[in-house]
Amino acid sequence: MLACEPKGTSYNRIVAQCFLGALDVSAEMVRQVEARDCPRYSGGAYAAMETDASEALPMGGFCRP
C-alpha cells in the first residue's frame, strides 16, 4: 500500500515523502538512477545514495538549497 507523509508545500503544492510498505520511494528512485536528491526538500537525505551515474542526471534549479 502506498502512503505519503506531507512534509510541507512549495508553489502551492504539497511536498511529501512516500512509502510503498516500508520502502521509501524516493530513496529507491535515487538508487535506481531514476532521480536525484533534491536537498531543498529532502534536506540532503538521499545525497549519500547518489552515484556518478545519478549525478549525471539533470538537477533543476529549484532543488538547490
pLDDT in tens, 5-53: 999 888 899 999 999 999 999 999 999 999 999 998 888 999 999 999 9
Taking the C-alpha atoms of residue 62 and residue 10, their distance in angstroms, rounded to an integer, is 10
Q: Where do the H-state alpha helices sit in 1-65?
A: 25-31, 39-42, 52-55
* pLDDT of residue 65 exceeding 70: no
pLDDT at 64: 72
Confidence of residue 61 (pLDDT cuts 50, 70, 90): confident
- The predicted model scores a pTM of 0.81
